[in-house]
Structure 1
Amino acid sequence: MSSSSAPPHRPSLAVTFVDVERADMERTGSNIDLEKFNSAAPTLNNTPSGSRNPSPDRKKVSSRSPTPSPKQVDIEAMDSKERINTISRYTNDELDIAWMGGVIITCFFTSGLIDAVAFNSWNCFVGMQTGNTIFAALGLGGLPTQAHEQQFLKSFVAIGSFCMGTIFFNIMHRFPTGLHNQPNSRKRSIFVLSFLIQTLLIIIAAALVTVGVVSNQPFVMGQFSSGSHITDDVDPDDDHRNYIDMIPIVILAFEAAGQVCLSRVLSLIELPTIVLSTLYHDWTGDLLGTRQLWRQSSGVKDFVFNQGRRQNKRLMAIIALFLGGVVGGEMWKSKVGMAGALWVAAFLKGCIVVSFALWKKQKQDDEELEK
């Protein structure tokens, strides 16, 4: 008796295919009788794998690129809307006024820097309108006698431009709360936009001086323009008037109003960023109470940052404007001239724009959060 052992039965790979088909029917809730399918499963298992070709429809389905479902589209739309809302909330945040005194001190420095070079070349101020008022008043009476007979027009133009800038920047700061109210909104978007405009205006003035449209030369008594005396075809006795100097005067006086408006929004009325007369008075007058402030302080740190903080800000503002004038004068005498000083002022205003864009928002009280 020959004992020939039958080859062991190997399970066909079709079992995997059947299991997949059964799982698809159960998932899709098909109406096909699963018992009939199960009864036919052994037949399918015995079918050679080579003879089971996927249907053309299945090939088409598998070859299609996946398309996002409506649920995915809704999720993407919600994410996009959420990002927009986040940006909107960030730009509308009320900024914390802590340490904004540093911004005011920087504005004092830029005022001294710009007015120093402006006075040397144009014989008028663009920020300090007190001096321009005196110049304009003297000019109406033909004084000083060494000046051009229409020199006072520069002072009037600077004053008018400053007033127009005041209206413009006040409208910007009052818009969120109403034009009839005092400017008290500290929204990030308004602060950034205000100093961005100031920066761009200084850049325009600096560019005009850099390319030579406006002269970089020193002012000469008896002549209206800062550059008319160096022109070969100009007779010194001729009544030559070059009003091109008016362009940067208008621009710089207009932008100077923006930083003054900021001091009002921050309720820092004693730090107007362009004048020092009242600041000298307030700082000197409050020296009488310095001894009492020192007694109330727990130490030097408490005196500097708490008890004497207001006095210290006044002193720093005075020093900043003075240093700005010194730096402006030295730059005006150097190779960089007026253009270099204006570019430095534009850079400082640009740094303020960036700082406001990154400034922390005001912390809300627990009661406000509950509401």
Structure 2
Amino acid sequence: MIPDLENDPSRDGPRESTLSFRWSQNLDPTHADLVCLLLCFLTGLCDSSAYNIWSCFLGMQTGNTIFLGLGASNQPTSKPWGWLKSLVSITLFFTGAMIFSTVMRHLGALRRGTLVVSFLFQTILVIIAVALIQADLIPRTSSDISIDEGPLFLELIPIGLLAFQSAGAMTCSRSLGFNEIPTVVLTSVYFDIASDPKIAEKLTINVKRNRRIGGVVSLLTGAIVGGWLSRSGGGMESVLWMAAGLKSIAALGWLFWKAAPPSRQ
């Protein structure tokens, strides 16, 4: 009798088991600092464009806190509602940090599936934001009707979405163990570089210094690229499409990332 191989359930069992096992594998964080440097670049890319268009930040919440404080005295007078944009960004970043960190801790922060889904979700939020802008539902330039010039507060929607996903990026960076690359703030990084007693050591010796300097360069480069793209014909949409594309590539990259060696008990 010839077995019915086509309908044999045992054929799919090992494959499903293998896929499930691979999806739940913990990843080796070696070289994952390169992904964190990419996140620094994306912070500079998006924040430079957002500040240029909306006068607020999406990831760097220190600046937003200052803008929020200025709003208590109705400053700057040319942007009476600027404090509200900063408040929305801070609130959604804070909320995103709580949700991303809680979910990733529960699922396993270094699991392949967790990182893939996290980056894909961040990508989807960026795509929704840029789609709203490209559909002319949201002001895309500082000369358009905006929150500072009219009763519509629609630009708070993409600000909130983009701030929320920025928190996801920082959560991933922390989960991977590279606290010296915070992805969204550089003040402490500048201090750590300047105060490092091993600042002049060889590249192979002081790896944390290398990562800090790489974070500064990556964020600055992103800001420069974001500024030029904002001035181009593509405007802010080109910035956000680039961010979405790079995040989606990173998400796919986790699918092929090397798994961590099995722990020995």
Q: TM-score, normalised by structure 1?
A: 0.68
Answer yes or no: is the 8 Å Cα contact 2:180–2:211 preserved in 1.
no
**Which deviations, in whole Å up to 9, do the C-alpha atoms of 1:293-329 show, x marking residues without a partner?**
3xxxxxxxxx32x312211111111011001111111
The letter for the 1-side match of 2:220 is: F
Answer yes or no: is the 8 Å Cα contact 1:126–1:158 preserved in 2.
yes
Q: Identify if the C-alpha distance between structure 1 residues 105 and 73 changes in structure 2 by more than 3 Å, giving closer, same or farther.
A: closer
Answer yes or no: is the 8 Å Cα contact 1:110–1:321 preserved in 2.
yes
Q: How many residues align?
A: 265
Using the alignment, how far apart are the partners of 1:363 and 1:129 within structure 2? 37
Aligned: 1:255 with 2:165: yes
Aligned to 1:344: 242
Aligned: 1:117 with 2:49: yes
Answer yes or no: is the 8 Å Cα contact 2:46–2:240 preserved in 1.
yes
Using the alignment, how far apart are the partners of 1:290 and 1:342 within structure 2? 35
Structure 1 SS opposite 2:107: coil
Aligned to 2:129: 205
The letter for the 2-side match of 1:319 is: V
Q: Identify if the C-alpha distance between structure 1 residues 146 and 155 changes in structure 2 by more than 3 Å, giving closer, same or farther.
A: same
The letter for the 1-side match of 2:78 is: Q
The letter for the 2-side match of 1:266 is: L
Answer yes or no: is the 8 Å Cα contact 1:283–1:311 preserved in 2.
yes
Of 234, 237, 241 in structure 1, the residue corresponding to residue 151 of structure 2 is 241
Aligned to 1:307: 205
The letter for the 1-side match of 2:32 is: M
Aligned to 1:284: 194
Q: Which has the larger radius of gyration?
A: 1
The letter for the 2-side match of 1:330 is: W
Of 22, 25, 30 in structure 2, the residue corresponding to residue 90 of structure 1 is 22
Of 126, 136, 143 in structure 1, the residue corresponding to residue 58 of structure 2 is 126
Structure 1 SS opposite 2:30: coil
* Percent pairwise identity: 33
Answer yes or no: is the 8 Å Cα contact 2:139–2:146 preserved in 1.
no
Q: Single out whichever of 275-284 and 264-273 deviates more from structure 2.
A: 264-273
Task: Kindly report which structure 2 residues correspond to 1:17-28, keeping only aligned pairs within 5 A, or say none.
Answer: none
Q: Give the Å deviation of 1:219.
A: 5.6
Q: Identify if the C-alpha distance between structure 1 residues 259 and 361 changes in structure 2 by more than 3 Å, giving closer, same or farther.
A: same
Structure 2 SS opposite 1:289: coil
Aligned to 1:225: 147
The letter for the 2-side match of 1:202 is: V
Q: Give the Å deviation of 1:145.
A: 2.4
The letter for the 1-side match of 2:157 is: I
Task: Calculate the aligned-residue CA RMSD, in Å.
Answer: 2.0
Aligned: 1:171 with 2:80: no
Structure 2 SS opposite 1:145: coil
Q: Give the Å deviation of 1:282.
A: 0.6
Answer yes or no: is the 8 Å Cα contact 2:26–2:259 preserved in 1.
yes
Answer yes or no: is the 8 Å Cα contact 1:122–1:219 preserved in 2.
no
Of 336, 351, 357 in structure 1, the residue corresponding to residue 255 of structure 2 is 357
Task: Kindly report which structure 2 residues correspond to 1:62-77, keeping only aligned pairs within 5 A, or say none.
Answer: 68=3, 76-77=8-9
Q: Which runs of 4+ in 1 moved over 3 A?
A: 66-69
Q: Identify if the C-alpha distance between structure 1 residues 176 and 244 changes in structure 2 by more than 3 Å, giving closer, same or farther.
A: closer
Give structure 1 stretches of 5+ with no counterpart: 1-65, 178-184, 229-239, 294-302
Using the alignment, how far apart are the partners of 1:105 and 1:216 within structure 2? 28
Q: Give the Å deviation of 1:187.
A: 0.4
Aligned: 1:188 with 2:112: yes
Answer yes or no: is the 8 Å Cα contact 2:107–2:114 preserved in 1.
no
Q: Structure with the greater relative contact order (CA < 8 A, sep ≥ 6): 1 or 2?
A: 2
Answer yes or no: is the 8 Å Cα contact 1:136–1:156 preserved in 2.
yes
**Which deviations, in whole Å up to 9, do the C-alpha atoms of 1:58-86 show, x marking residues without a partner?**
xxxxxxxx8746xx689x32221111110
Answer yes or no: is the 8 Å Cα contact 1:120–1:219 preserved in 2.
no
Using the alignment, how far apart are the partners of 1:97 and 1:207 within structure 2? 33
The letter for the 2-side match of 1:105 is: L
Q: Give the Å deviation of 1:224.
A: 4.9
Using the alignment, how far apart are the partners of 1:163 and 1:109 within structure 2? 21
Using the alignment, how far apart are the partners of 1:307 and 1:175 within structure 2? 35
